[in-house]
Amino acid sequence: MRVLIIEDEKPLAEALAQALEANGMVVDTTYTALEGGDAALTNAYDCVLVDVMLPDGNGIDLISWLRTSGCTSPAIVLTAQNEVPQRIAGLNAGADDYLGKPIDVSELVARLQAVVRRTGGQTGSTALEYGQLKLYENSRTLAFRDHTLELSAKEFSLMEFLFRHPNQVLSRDQLIAHLWGVDALVADNALDNYVYFLRKKVAKLGVRDVIRTIRGQGYMLNPTARG
For residues 49 and 195, which CB has a smaller minimum distance to Ca ion in the complex?
49
Spell 163-183 as b/e; 16+ CB within 10 A means b: beeeeeebeeebbbbbbbbbe
For residues 5 and 142, which CB has a smaller minimum distance to Ca ion in the complex?
5
- The span from the CA of 174 to the CA of 154, in Å, is 15
For residues 11 and 120, which CB has a smaller minimum distance to Ca ion in the complex?
11
Q: How far is the CB of 130 from Ca ion (least distance, A)?
A: 42
- The span from the CA of 116 to the CA of 14, in Å, is 22
For residues 90 and 218, which CB has a smaller minimum distance to Ca ion in the complex?
90
Q: How far is the CB of 109 from Ca ion (least distance, A)?
A: 21
Site residues (vs Ca ion, CB under 5 A) = 8, 51, 53
Contacts 24+ apart (CB under 8 A), 95-104: 95/50, 95/60, 95/63, 101/12, 103/12, 103/16, 103/78
Taking each helix axis from N to C end, the angle separating 190-203 and 172-180, rounded to the nearest 10 degrees, works out to 80
Whether 146 and 132 have beta carbons less than 8 Å apart is answered as no
Q: How far is the CB of 79 from Ca ion (least distance, A)?
A: 8
For residues 28 and 137, which CB has a smaller minimum distance to Ca ion in the complex?
28
